């Protein structure tokens, strides 16, 4: 470690005095102008992690669905997954060290993690389309080079594409080729094969309107579209040519406001979807003949996918264990449908995809989705091998189903939730099953629900248990919630401190929108009173 060089370069990426940031659910995220030193230091950290794991590590510069002025950074571990929790702590320490303490913190991390500093390091970098991203990714590169690491800068990429690259590079190309071209080819080949097998859907089903949140998804989908145009034609909206990133559009806007994005004209019963700013989330929606908006969120996507996979397994005659992983935000109707109608076991984890991803790895086939549309399906190596064999050995109908499953496996991005990959999976399933968007929506009816935010002095006063569904502290809060929930039918409510914003989130659902709204409001008041609310008391009405 050339400590002299590190100190010299670090001074060029100086940390603003007193600024403290946390490596949160999705890495560091804040106003772009506060992030230069964090980027440089994450370049350093990625080199240490790469040396320690003897693998390629990824660094993604993005702030996903946040406003255009924000930015962020996260590290991607060897198999394309999120950074290990112990390294999240190192990331926080390193990002917050004052200039004069930097060297010591770097040495501490190296010693604690037994990093062999003589080991080679390789880091791959990607960035989204924010105006600040190019310069910030250059700061990451500065950090990588000053510690003697080698790197490949992919430039503009969706977040899941970067996860894919890392996974490919660390598995000797078995997962796919670590190029954008390789990504397009792998997914498109699987998709076109699948749609060729679809007999029951006419051309009218094969087109889709896509709101790209004025982000990277637009660029990448445009590059990719001709690879799969045989199976699907996409019409892009909010492609970044005029609107602002994530402003009044994108998956997060559509899900949280439960209304269509601006800048997209929707005719009744047309199938539409929205990506978020870095294209790792997707939600679907349509207007019915009466002009009512219908949202099809991550829960319904998980239901469509898991029911299709289950049907294929039955046809092939394989009894593999399949599980669905959700968070407390999953609509109660979806959980009930999965468990009672589909007879699929459902598990609930804490919020944040890393928790869902890890749980999903426990099954032969694990399908995980957050209600907001971030998710994918994971297949164990044994399952992949078994299905490949079946696709060659079995007879006729069974072989056809095995072949279909083989292609579906290839179509999923198993490194991370991926809007483009999920979109193609959904389109393939709808085509193969001959389902319209309305028929898909009709699988079950969502319980009306409401999400609210409450400002408190210190959100850490709220601690939770049971996958965040019950509050342990402050005293009396859970009892108050229990009493309120009892007043409504089919009701459920919980509160938790957000991991990405300085707020407490309140979630409520009940048998009518009015009840869900009332319950959410009453729970907000309880939080305000018992957990140190600040500012104006929560007001009714939305
Ligand atoms: C209710 C909700 O949607 N929460 C989001 C949000 O986390 P919070 O910890 O709730 O702020 O951002 C996370 C990162 O993008 C995402 O994983 C999660 O689902
Ligand atoms: Mg995102």
Q: For 412-426, how does the pLDDT look when each residue is reduced to its tens digit (9 = 90+)?
A: 999 999 999 999 999
pLDDT at position 134 is 98
pLDDT at position 205 is 52
| Catalytic sites, residue numbers | 64
Give Cα separations from 39 to 93, 160, 161, 279, 433 (angstroms).
14, 19, 20, 21, 46
Interval 337-342 mean pLDDT: 96
Write out pLDDT tens, residues 367-403. Answer: 999 999 999 999 999 999 999 988 888 778 888 999 9
Q: For residue 502, what is the DSSP state?
A: S
Q: Which of 15-29, 283-297, 340-354, 442-456 has the least mean pLDDT?
A: 15-29
Residues 254 and 211: beta-carbon distance below 8 Å: yes
CA 518 to centroid of ligand 2, rounded, Å: 30
Give Cα separations from 430 to 205, 271, 438 (angstroms).
9, 11, 11
Mean pLDDT score across all residues of the chain: 95
Percent of the chain residues topping a pLDDT of 90: 91
Q: Whose CA is nearest to atom 18 of ligand 1?
A: 352
Name the nearest CA neighbour of 387 among 322, 324, 318, 321: 318
Give Cα separations from 308 to 398, 439, 467 (angstroms).
15, 14, 27
Interval 122-133 mean pLDDT: 98
CB neighbours of residue 462 within 10 Å: 23
Report the alpha-carbon distance of residue 60 to residue 45 in Å, rounded: 13
Q: How deeply is 263 buried, as exposed, middle or buried, from its count of CB atoms within 10 A (0-12, 13-18, 19+)?
A: middle
Q: Give me the phi and psi of 280, to 5 degrees please.
A: -110, 5
In the block, tokens 């998710």 appear at 375
Peptide bond before residue 474 is cis, with ω within 30 degrees of 0: yes
Q: What residue numbers does the annotated binding site for Mg(2+) cover? A: 64, 276, 278, 280
Q: Which two tokens stand for residue 238?
A: 């909010």
Report the alpha-carbon distance of residue 191 to residue 494 in Å, rounded: 40
Q: Whose CA is nearest to atom 2 of ligand 1?
A: 372
Q: Give me the phi and psi of 59, to 5 degrees please.
A: -130, 120
pLDDT tops 70 at residue 18: yes
501 — pLDDT class (breaks 50, 70, 90) = confident
pLDDT at position 63 is 95
Interval 320-342 mean pLDDT: 97
pLDDT at position 57 is 98
Percent of the chain residues topping a pLDDT of 70: 98
pLDDT tops 90 at residue 488: yes
pLDDT at position 268 is 94
Ligand 1 closest atom vs CA 370 = 19
Q: How many residues does the chain have?
A: 542
Beta-carbon neighbours within 5 Å of ion ligand 2: 64, 276, 278, 280
146 — pLDDT class (breaks 50, 70, 90) = very high
pLDDT at position 391 is 85
pLDDT at position 3 is 86
Interval 87-96 mean pLDDT: 97
pLDDT at position 198 is 83
Higher pLDDT, 502 or 241: 241
Which of 36-66 are b and which e, b meaning 16 or more Cβ less than 10 Å from the residue's Cβ?
Answer: bbbbbbbbbbbbbbbbbbebbbbbbbbbbbb
Angle of the 513-530 helix axis to the 477-486 helix axis, nearest 10: 160
Q: Which residues line ligand 1 (CB under 6 A)?
A: 25-26, 64, 329, 351-353, 370, 372, 498-501, 505
Report the alpha-carbon distance of residue 355 to residue 347 in Å, rounded: 11
Ligand 1 closest atom vs CA 327 = 19
pLDDT at position 500 is 80
pLDDT at position 229 is 93
pLDDT at position 392 is 87
Q: Which domains does the chain have, with CATH numbers?
A: 3-156 (3.40.120.10), 183-296 (3.40.120), 298-418+431-442 (3.40.120), 449-531 (3.30.310.50)
233-237 vs 207-211, strand pairing mode: parallel
pLDDT tops 80 at residue 203: no
pLDDT tops 60 at residue 200: no
pLDDT at position 206 is 84
N-term to C-term CA, the chain: 56
pLDDT tops 90 at residue 92: yes
pLDDT at position 542 is 64
Q: Whose CA is nearest to atom 17 of ligand 1?
A: 352
Name the nearest CA neighbour of 376 among 407, 346, 415, 404: 415
Q: What residue numbers does the annotated binding site for substrate cover? A: 370-372, 496-500, 505
Query: Which residues does 89 contact at the CB level (< 8 Å), separation at least 6?
Result: 23
Query: Which residues does 150 contact at the CB level (< 8 Å), separation at least 6?
Result: 120, 121, 122, 123, 144
């Amino acid at each position: 470690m050339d400590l002299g060089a590190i100190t010299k370069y670090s001074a060029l990426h100086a940390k603003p005095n007193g600024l403290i940031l946390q490596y949160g659910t999705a890495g560091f995220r804040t106003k772009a102008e506060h992030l230069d030193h964090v980027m440089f230091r994450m370049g350093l950290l990625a080199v240490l992690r790469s040396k320690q794991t003897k693998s390629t590590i990824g660094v993604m510069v993005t702030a996903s669905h946040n406003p255009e002025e924000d930015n962020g950074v996260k590290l991607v571990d060897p198999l394309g997954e999120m950074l290990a929790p112990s390294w999240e702590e190192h990331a926080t320490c390193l990002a917050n060290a004052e200039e004069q303490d930097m060297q010591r913190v770097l040495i501490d991390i190296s010693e604690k993690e037994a990093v062999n500093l003589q080991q080679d390091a390789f880091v791959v970098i990607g960035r989204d389309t924010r105006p600040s991203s190019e310069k910030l990714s250059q700061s990451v590169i500065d950090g990588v080079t000053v510690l003697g690491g080698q790197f490949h800068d992919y430039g503009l990429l969706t977040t899941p594409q970067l996860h894919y690259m890392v996974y490919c590079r660390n598995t000797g190309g078995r997962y796919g080729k670590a190029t954008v071209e390789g990504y397009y080819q792998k997914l498109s080949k699987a998709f076109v094969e699948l749609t060729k097998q679809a007999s029951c859907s006419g051309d009218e089903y094969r087109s889709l309107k896509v709101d790209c949140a004025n982000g990277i998804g637009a660029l990448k989908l445009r590059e990719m579209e001709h690879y799969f145009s045989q199976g699907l034609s996409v019409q892009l909206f909010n492609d970044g040519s005029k609107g602002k990133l994530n402003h009044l559009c994108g998956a997060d806007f559509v899900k949280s406001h439960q209304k269509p994005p601006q800048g997209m004209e929707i005719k009744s019963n047309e199938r539409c979807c929205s990506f978020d700013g870095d294209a790792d989330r997707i939600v679907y929606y349509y207007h019915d003949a009466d002009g009512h908006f219908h949202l099809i969120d991550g829960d319904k996507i998980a239901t469509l996918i898991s029911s299709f996979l289950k049907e294929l397994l039955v046809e092939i005659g394989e009894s593999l264990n399949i599980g669905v992983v959700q968070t407390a935000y999953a609509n109660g109707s979806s959980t009930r449908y999965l468990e009672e109608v589909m007879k699929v076991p459902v598990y609930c984890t804490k919020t944040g995809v890393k928790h869902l991803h890890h749980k999903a790895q426990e099954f032969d086939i694990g399908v995980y989705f957050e209600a907001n549309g971030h998710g994918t399906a994971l297949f164990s190596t044994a399952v992949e091998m078994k299905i490949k064999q079946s696709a060659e050995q079995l007879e006729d109908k069974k072989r056809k189903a095995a072949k279909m499953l083989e292609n579906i496996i290839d179509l999923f991005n198993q490194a991370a939730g991926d809007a483009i990959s999920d979109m193609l999976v959904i389109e393939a399933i709808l085509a193969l099953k001959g389902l319209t968007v309305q028929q898909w929506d009709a699988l079950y009816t969502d319980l009306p629900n409401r999400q609210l935010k409450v400002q408190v002095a210190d959100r850490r006063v709220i601690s939770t248990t049971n996958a965040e569904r019950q509050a342990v502290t402050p005293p009396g809060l859970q009892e108050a919630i229990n009493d309120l929930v009892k007043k409504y039918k089919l009701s459920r409510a919980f509160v938790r401190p957000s991991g990405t914003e300085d707020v407490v989130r309140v979630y409520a659902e009940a048998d009518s929108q009015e009840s869900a709204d009332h319950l959410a409001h009453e729970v907000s008041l309880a939080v305000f009173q018992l957990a140190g609310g600040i500012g104006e008391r929560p007001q009714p009405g939305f």
